[in-house]
A and B are shown apart, each in its own frame.
Chain A
Amino acid sequence: MNAIYDVVIIGGGMSGLMAAAALVQKGRKVALISKGDPVCCFSTGCIDLLADGDDPLQGIGSLPDNHPYRLVGEDAVVRSLELFREIISEGGLPYVGDVHVNRGVLTSLGRCKTTCLVPETMKFSDFDSDEYIHVISFYKMKDFYPQYITSRYTNAGHSVFDPGVITTAGIAEKFENKPFLESFISWMKGLDIPEGRIALPAVLGRSRAGDVYREVSAGCGRKIFEIPTLPPSMPGLRLFGGLKKALLRRGVNLYWGKGIYSVEKLGNRIEAVTLDSAGRTTRVEGRAFILATGSFVSGGLQASMDSVTETVFDLPAYLPGGRESWFNDDFFAPGHEIEKAGIRVDASFRPVDTEIENLCVCGSILAFSEVMKYRCGHGMAIATGVAAAEACGRLV
């Protein structure tokens, strides 16, 4: 059985999901194909726009001309973020923040990370360093060690709760259980914590995190916030799970857990892709396609000893010099050259140096996106995802 879609999106990360959202909003018939849960599940769940300066949007104008943000433009970036907030809040965990203001969130190493929009559970994360901070940790939790944080602040304390399990996901699951939640809240009430804020690792539930957070906050009447942890981290899973659910409700057809087996072309057009599924093959036909398969880490790009290839359509990929120039010597030096690798596109997000007419590209697979250098990962993905969807919509 074949289905014909207006647009077929390949890649279930942030940019692919947002492209789907933008297209269904315009009444398009959309399919989204993902070979598995995306790398954005590993993220902090925060939306980084651009780390430099107080106003991230202002910084976009000073990025290099070939940066994907420059193709989108400030107004379209703002619109895309509005769409993101609208969709994500449907799942009960709204995002807070002002797109014109960068803010800090506390990390599991006690560092302050610059981001812009944060889930409600982190809304009190931008605390003043003079303010007292009390860290709640969990007995033997293997991915959270409060000393990394308390040692950085002169005015800090910590208490330990024993949840009976040691993994992030295990503790988060317990928080969705009513008696457990109540026993935790009553334990919190019994603590003698000085005036200030309370931080705890991001374990306050998974799909019901908004409710859990509000119950804990109301229960102890304090300003509480979550700290993102090492993967698998809850905020990333919640963000991605929330978007996926919202898209399903809006009628996007999801092909999950399936890679692309083959591509059918007719002349300069891609006609269909065949999916690698158990027992049979599924052919997905579309009038236009969006490639949102991410960078190396997500498998959209693949490097050999001396070249880089795009893994679905074999598009020509930009490569910054030979292998010896791909990485800096210092792990901590921001911006390795290899981050510039990817697919170059024109103003309509269509790949250059190829004959294919009905394909747009978005997200971190775009050349020159340099998400680690500019700390613009999710923001750039949302903005280019929506912009590429609009451009692609014009093609069909």
Chain B
Amino acid sequence: MIRTDVIIIGGGSTGCGIARDLALRGIPHCLIEKGDFAAGATGACHGLLHSGGRYVVNDPEAAAECIAENMILRRIGRKCVEQTGGLFVRLPGDSKRFRDLFLKGCEEIGIVTEELSPSRALDLVPKLNPSLEEAIRVPDCSIDPFRLCMLNIISSQKRGGQILTHHRVIEIIREHGRCVGVKAREEATSEVKEIRGKVIINATGAWGDQVAHLAGGSVPITLSKGSLVVTNHRITNMVINRLRPSADGDIVVPNEAVCLAGTTSIAVTDPDRIGVDPAEVDIIATQAQEMLPDFGTTRLIRTYAGVRPLLKADGEDGRAISRGFRIIDHQDGLFSILGGKLTTYRLMAEKMTDSIMGVFGLKTKCKTAEHPLEGQEELRGYPLSSRLKSLEGIVCECELVTADVVERVAGQIGTRHIGDIQHRTRLGMGPCQGGFCTYRALGIMQEMGKMTPDESMRVLREFLQRRFKGIKPALWGDQLREEQLIEYIYLGILNMEQEQ
């Protein structure tokens, strides 16, 4: 049995942020995550560190939180934030009145803007639609959500935080009407572990209601699916937003070597059963093409969908609901944190931690905004600069990942999941989307004895199905060519079989 003070359920940005906050305030804690870090909405979002501009007209409170956090994160997380800057572009037909409201809102909240002529905007982003009316520059950034989670976790682990990934909470233990611990099952071994603590924090995002139910409670969230598409290279080095009220497909974000375009907003009920519809891809691609005409001829490499856990508000559609967050004290030792955004994850963690300090009779102040994220220099195998140092024995040609790096990461974290390797090395994240290197990485893991050949065949099969599911809604143009090639390789050359 593990004994601790605070049990955090959920390894998204909120959960990881809370772990770091508790660690810096010296409070023992244990984080339990059913998959890998950033497996929910955190890893399935745009990777946009909002300036707040997107919300400034309809949700000024959320916009103010965004700009404040944006400034903090670019200071403390230099290695996971890319200061791209962003543009809001107004195309012919887009309302001038909205532009006026936008500028007024930005000024009131303190978002620094700069009005740019079309030619100035085209100097900055040459692939913008040349018929644009104007552009407004804002301090948007792109952020790597997976890396952000990993860095938060490093602070926790350095101070004795216990981190259990691939552990699913199956029971919340209640004694005398209070939540006193949880039982979690390790995925690989099915071993059930008991963890006891004084406070349990439900930071499970879209799964919040399911977890609250384990303790007999519920939380007022509404789930909204957002889909995105990924291009095989960058067509803009700045974040591009459409200057109009929020709508589908109005943001394109550069991230590492690719661009992410989205999103959509569709109400869903089950966060485990979501997929991207071809119609959504058509909307996103068409809208993105209006801002960046080259989008129409660029190869798409993947589509994915995430579920936003929004605060429930009856009768409102997903776009109109506030991006603000809320903390619920279930009055039995369980707290739930709901809503919010990746951009405000640190603030959410701060408020959450503040609200449980009373339980421990402590008054320690939050330190997460002052100290840079630890481990930014040491995160090996991940940044391009370190990948470029050794080009021998490359197994992933798209992202320059070597066999040695795969072996080291597989050895360090003892994982049996190809996804864990991908997240920590960027293997398979490039244009071929693992079409070649997954077979190799699994072969290496077999040789290391990390996986039996049968297991690796199962993983390879699952990987190919998932990869196919990701690109299927967007199969036309060059992505269709690439898909046919992958089919020839796995079904033709290797004659891979269907599941028995």
Take A145-B443, A145-B446, A231-B493 as given contacts and tell me if A297 and B488 are in contact as well, using a CB distance cutoff of 8 Å: yes
Judge whether B492 and A372 touch: CB under 8 Å: yes
Partner-contacting stretch, out of B31-39, B200-208, B322-330, B460-468: B460-468
Judge whether A326 and B475 touch: CB under 8 Å: yes
Instruction: Write out the residue numbers on chain B whose beta carbons fall within 8 Å of the beta carbon of A39.
Output: 485, 488
Subset of 30 A-B contacts with CB under 8 Å: A39-B485, A43-B488, A43-B493, A107-B495, A109-B494, A111-B494, A112-B495, A113-B494, A142-B393, A145-B439, A145-B440, A145-B444, A148-B446, A148-B453, A151-B454, A230-B436, A230-B489, A303-B475, A304-B476, A305-B285, A306-B476, A327-B472, A330-B498, A332-B461, A332-B497, A333-B498, A334-B491, A372-B488, A372-B492, A377-B492
Give the CA-CA distance A299 to B480 in the complex, in Å.
10
B26 within 8 A of A: no
Instruction: Write out the residue numbers on chain B whose beta carbons fall within 8 Å of the beta carbon of A150.
Output: 453
Q: Tell me, rounded to whole Å, the shortest Cβ–Cβ distance linking A145 to chain B.
A: 3
Give the CA-CA distance A108 to B492 in the complex, in Å.
11
Q: Which of B278, B403, B480 contacts A324 (CB 8 A)?
A: B278
How many A residues have CB within 8 A of the partner chain?
Answer: 50
Judge whether B484 and A297 touch: CB under 8 Å: yes
B317 within 8 A of A: no
Looking across the interface, which residue of chain B has its beta carbon closest to that of A308? B476
B129 within 8 A of A: no
Instruction: Write out the residue numbers on chain A whose beta carbons fall within 8 Å of the beta carbon of B452.
Output: 151
Judge whether A304 and B477 touch: CB under 8 Å: yes
Q: Tell me, rounded to whole Å, the shortest Cβ–Cβ distance linking B495 to chain A.
A: 4
Q: Tell me, rounded to whole Å, the shortest Cβ–Cβ distance linking B427 to chain A.
A: 13
Judge whether A338 and B446 touch: CB under 8 Å: no
Q: Which of B282, B444, B494 contacts A108 (CB 8 A)?
A: B494
Within 8 A of A (CB), among B429-457: 436, 439-440, 442-444, 446-447, 452-454, 456-457
Judge whether B465 and A330 touch: CB under 8 Å: yes
Judge whether B496 and A111 touch: CB under 8 Å: yes
Instruction: Write out the residue numbers on chain B whose beta carbons fall within 8 Å of the beta carbon of A338.
Output: 475, 480
Instruction: Write out the residue numbers on chain A whose beta carbons fall within 8 Å of the beta carbon of B475.
Output: 303, 323, 326-327, 338
Looking across the interface, which residue of chain B has its beta carbon closest to that of A145? B443
A295 within 8 A of B: yes
Within 8 A of B (CB), among A29-76: 39, 42-44
Take A107-B495, A109-B495 as given contacts and tell me if A295 and B484 are in contact as well, using a CB distance cutoff of 8 Å: yes
Judge whether A142 and B403 touch: CB under 8 Å: yes
A147 within 8 A of B: yes
Knowing that A297-B481, A331-B467 touch, tell me 13 more A-B residue pairs with CB under 8 angstroms: A43-B488, A44-B492, A107-B495, A109-B496, A111-B496, A113-B493, A148-B456, A151-B453, A151-B454, A304-B476, A323-B475, A331-B464, A377-B492
Q: Which of B278, B456, B469, B492 contacts A323 (CB 8 A)?
A: B278
Give the CA-CA distance A123 to B315 in the complex, in Å.
70
Give the CA-CA distance A151 to B449 in the complex, in Å.
13
Q: Tell me, rounded to whole Å, the shortest Cβ–Cβ distance linking A43 to chain B.
A: 7
A228 within 8 A of B: yes
Looking across the interface, which residue of chain A has its beta carbon closest to that of B285? A305
Q: Tell me, rounded to whole Å, the shortest Cβ–Cβ distance linking A330 to chain B.
A: 7
B171 within 8 A of A: no
Judge whether B497 and A230 touch: CB under 8 Å: no
B374 within 8 A of A: no
Instruction: Write out the residue numbers on chain B whose beta carbons fall within 8 Å of the beta carbon of A324.
Output: 278
Instruction: Write out the residue numbers on chain A whose beta carbons fall within 8 Å of the beta carbon of B403.
Output: 140, 142
Q: How many A-B residue pairs have CB under 8 A?
A: 126
Instruction: Write out the residue numbers on chain B whose beta carbons fall within 8 Å of the beta carbon of A334.
Output: 491
A225 within 8 A of B: no
A166 within 8 A of B: yes
Interface core residue of B456, B468, B494, B496 (most chain A CB under 10 Å): B494
A143 within 8 A of B: yes
Instruction: Write out the residue numbers on chain B whose beta carbons fall within 8 Å of the beta carbon of A231.
Output: 489, 493
Where chain A touches its partner, the secondary structure class is loop
Looking across the interface, which residue of chain A has its beta carbon closest to that of B442? A145
B395 within 8 A of A: yes
Instruction: Write out the residue numbers on chain A whose beta carbons fall within 8 Å of the beta carbon of B488.
Output: 39, 42-43, 297, 372
Instruction: Write out the residue numbers on chain B whose beta carbons fall within 8 Å of the beta carbon of A175.
Output: none
Give the CA-CA distance A375 to B492 in the complex, in Å.
8
Q: Which of B282, B443, B447, B477 contacts A302 (CB 8 A)?
A: B477
B499 within 8 A of A: yes
Q: Tell me, rounded to whole Å, the shortest Cβ–Cβ distance linking A366 to chain B.
A: 15
1/0 per residue A304-325: CB within 8 Å of B? 1110000000000000000110
A296 within 8 A of B: yes
A369 within 8 A of B: no
Smallest CB-CB A-B distances: 5 pairs: A145-B443, A151-B453, A331-B468, A113-B495, A297-B484
1/0 per residue B182-212: CB within 8 Å of A? 0000000000000000000000000000000
Looking across the interface, which residue of chain A has its beta carbon closest to that of B394? A142
B354 within 8 A of A: no
Q: Tell me, rounded to whole Å, the shortest Cβ–Cβ distance linking A168 to chain B.
A: 12
Q: Tell me, rounded to whole Å, the shortest Cβ–Cβ distance linking B298 to chain A.
A: 13
Looking across the interface, which residue of chain A has its beta carbon closest to that of B498? A332
Q: Which of B395, B461, B489, B495 contacts A42 (CB 8 A)?
A: B489
B487 within 8 A of A: yes
A233 within 8 A of B: yes
Instruction: Write out the residue numbers on chain B whose beta carbons fall within 8 Å of the beta carbon of A140.
Output: 393, 403
Looking across the interface, which residue of chain B has its beta carbon closest to that of A331? B468
1/0 per residue A220-232: CB within 8 Å of B? 0000000011110
Give the CA-CA distance A233 to B494 in the complex, in Å.
12
Instruction: Write out the residue numbers on chain B whose beta carbons fall within 8 Å of the beta carbon of A148.
Output: 443, 446, 453, 456-457
Give the CA-CA distance A44 to B492 in the complex, in Å.
8
1/0 per residue A129-171: CB within 8 Å of B? 0000000000010111101101110000000000000100000
Take A147-B446, A304-B476, A327-B475 as given contacts and tell me if A43 and B440 are in contact as well, using a CB distance cutoff of 8 Å: no
Instruction: Write out the residue numbers on chain A whose beta carbons fall within 8 Å of the beta carbon of B442.
Output: 145
Instruction: Write out the residue numbers on chain A whose beta carbons fall within 8 Å of the beta carbon of B453.
Output: 147-148, 150-152
Q: Tell me, rounded to whole Å, the shortest Cβ–Cβ distance linking A224 to chain B.
A: 20
Q: Tell me, rounded to whole Å, the shortest Cβ–Cβ distance linking A244 to chain B.
A: 21
Looking across the interface, which residue of chain B has its beta carbon closest to that of A333? B498
Judge whether A111 and B489 touch: CB under 8 Å: no
Judge whether A332 and B496 touch: CB under 8 Å: yes
Q: Tell me, rounded to whole Å, the shortest Cβ–Cβ distance linking A152 to chain B.
A: 8
Take A327-B475, A332-B461 as given contacts and tell me if A42 and B485 are in contact as well, using a CB distance cutoff of 8 Å: yes
Instruction: Write out the residue numbers on chain B whose beta carbons fall within 8 Å of the beta carbon of A108.
Output: 493-494
Judge whether A43 and B492 touch: CB under 8 Å: yes
Give the CA-CA distance A143 to B484 in the complex, in Å.
20
Give the CA-CA distance A343 to B211 in the complex, in Å.
55
Instruction: Write out the residue numbers on chain B whose beta carbons fall within 8 Å of the beta carbon of A233.
Output: 493
Instruction: Write out the residue numbers on chain B whose beta carbons fall within 8 Å of the beta carbon of A144.
Output: 443
Instruction: Write out the residue numbers on chain A whose beta carbons fall within 8 Å of the beta carbon of B440.
Output: 142-143, 145
Instruction: Write out the residue numbers on chain B whose beta carbons fall within 8 Å of the beta carbon of A166.
Output: 393
